Chains A and B, each alone.
Chain A
Amino acid sequence: MPVTAEKGFDVEKLRSDFPLLQTAMNGKPIAFLDSAASSQKPSAVLEAMDTYYREKHANVHRGVYQLSQDATAAYEKARELVREFINAPSSHEVIFVRGCTEGINLVAATFGRRFLDADSEVLISAMEHHSNIVPWQMACEDKGAKLKVIPINDEGELLMDEFERLLTDKVKIVALTHVSNTLGTVNPIHEVVEKAHAKGIPVLVDGAQAIPHMQVDVQELDVDFYAFSGHKMFGPTGIGVLFGKEKWLNALPPYQGGGEMIETVTFEKTTYNELPHKFEAGTPDIAGAIGLGAAIEYIQSIGYENIHAYEMDLLHYATRQLQQVEGIRFIGTARDKASVISFLVEGFHPYDLGTILDKLGIAVRTGHHCTQPLMERFCIPGTVRASLAFYNNRTDIDRLVEGVKRAVAMLR
Chain B
Amino acid sequence: MSINEIQDEIIDEFALFSDWMEKYEYIIDLGKNLPLIEEQYKDEDHLIKGCQSRVWLHAGLEGDKVVFTADSDAVITKGIIALLIRVLSNQPAEDVAQSDLYFIDKIGLKEHLSPTRSNGLVSMVKQMKMYGLALHAKN
Which residues of chain A have a CB within 8 Å of any CB of chain B?
Answer: 26, 349-352, 354-356, 359, 366-368, 381-382, 410-411
Inter-chain contact B25/A410, CB cutoff 8 Å:
yes
CB neighbours (8 Å) of A382 from chain B are 52
Inter-chain contact B20/A351, CB cutoff 8 Å:
no
Inter-chain contact A351/B24, CB cutoff 8 Å:
no
> How far is the CB of A327 from the nearest CB of chain B, in Å?
15
Give Cα distance in the complex from A382 to B24, angstroms. 22
Closest-by-CB residue of A relative to B25 is A410
> How far is the CB of B25 from the nearest CB of chain A, in Å?
6
Give Cα distance in the complex from A356 to B52, angstroms. 14
Given A359-B20, A411-B75, does the pair A351, B28 have CB atoms closer than 8 Å? no
Inter-chain contact A351/B74, CB cutoff 8 Å:
yes
Q: Which of B51, B112, B119 has the most CB of A within 10 A?
A: B51
Given A410-B25, A411-B28, does the pair A355, B76 have CB atoms closer than 8 Å? yes
Inter-chain contact B75/A349, CB cutoff 8 Å:
yes
Inter-chain contact B73/A349, CB cutoff 8 Å:
yes
4 smallest CB-CB distances across A and B, nearest first, come from A349-B74, A351-B74, A351-B53, A351-B52
CB neighbours (8 Å) of A367 from chain B are 51-52, 118
Inter-chain contact A366/B52, CB cutoff 8 Å:
yes
Inter-chain contact A410/B21, CB cutoff 8 Å:
yes
**Cross-chain pairs A/B with CB under 8 angstroms, 25 sampled:** A26-B20, A349-B73, A350-B52, A350-B74, A351-B52, A351-B74, A351-B76, A351-B77, A352-B74, A352-B75, A352-B76, A354-B52, A355-B112, A356-B24, A356-B76, A359-B20, A367-B51, A367-B118, A368-B51, A382-B52, A410-B21, A410-B24, A410-B25, A411-B28, A411-B75
Closest-by-CB residue of B relative to A359 is B20
CB neighbours (8 Å) of B112 from chain A are 355
Closest-by-CB residue of B relative to A27 is B20
Which residues of chain B have a CB within 8 Å of any CB of chain A?
Answer: 20-21, 24-25, 28, 51-54, 73-77, 112, 118-119
Inter-chain contact B21/A351, CB cutoff 8 Å:
no
Label chain A's interface by main secondary structure: helix
> How far is the CB of B2 from the nearest CB of chain A, in Å?
30
Inter-chain contact A381/B73, CB cutoff 8 Å:
yes
CB neighbours (8 Å) of B28 from chain A are 352, 410-411
CB neighbours (8 Å) of A359 from chain B are 20-21, 24
Closest-by-CB residue of B relative to A370 is B51
- Give 10 new A-B contacts, CB below 8 A, not counting A356-B24, A381-B54: A349-B53, A349-B75, A351-B52, A351-B77, A352-B76, A355-B76, A355-B112, A356-B76, A367-B52, A381-B53
> How far is the CB of B32 from the nearest CB of chain A, in Å?
9
CB neighbours (8 Å) of A350 from chain B are 52, 74
CB neighbours (8 Å) of B52 from chain A are 350-351, 354, 366-367, 382
> How far is the CB of A400 from the nearest CB of chain B, in Å?
18
CB neighbours (8 Å) of B25 from chain A are 410
Give Cα distance in the complex from A354 to B112, angstroms. 12
Give Cα distance in the complex from A382 to B74, angstroms. 11
Give Cα distance in the complex from A352 to B117, angstroms. 12
Give Cα distance in the complex from A352 to B119, angstroms. 11
Closest-by-CB residue of B relative to A367 is B52
Give Cα distance in the complex from A411 to B79, angstroms. 11
Q: Which of A351, A354, A356 has the most CB of B within 10 A?
A: A351
> How far is the CB of B77 from the nearest CB of chain A, in Å?
6
Closest-by-CB residue of B relative to A372 is B51
> How far is the CB of A371 from the nearest CB of chain B, in Å?
12
Give Cα distance in the complex from A234 to B74, angstroms. 33
Closest-by-CB residue of A relative to B21 is A410
Closest-by-CB residue of B relative to A368 is B51
Closest-by-CB residue of B relative to A406 is B21
Closest-by-CB residue of A relative to B23 is A359
Q: Which of A352, A381, A411 has the most CB of B within 10 A?
A: A352
> How far is the CB of B49 from the nearest CB of chain A, in Å?
11
CB neighbours (8 Å) of B21 from chain A are 359, 410
> How far is the CB of A402 from the nearest CB of chain B, in Å?
14
> How far is the CB of A369 from the nearest CB of chain B, in Å?
10
Give Cα distance in the complex from A349 to B71, angstroms. 14
Give Cα distance in the complex from A381 to B112, angstroms. 19
Give Cα distance in the complex from A166 to B118, angstroms. 36
Closest-by-CB residue of A relative to B27 is A355
Closest-by-CB residue of B relative to A358 is B111
CB neighbours (8 Å) of B20 from chain A are 26, 359
Give Cα distance in the complex from A26 to B21, angstroms. 12
CB neighbours (8 Å) of B54 from chain A are 381
Give Cα distance in the complex from A288 to B91, angstroms. 54
CB neighbours (8 Å) of A26 from chain B are 20
Give Cα distance in the complex from A182 to B30, angstroms. 32
Closest-by-CB residue of B relative to A348 is B75
CB neighbours (8 Å) of A411 from chain B are 28, 75
CB neighbours (8 Å) of A381 from chain B are 53-54, 73
> How far is the CB of B127 from the nearest CB of chain A, in Å?
19
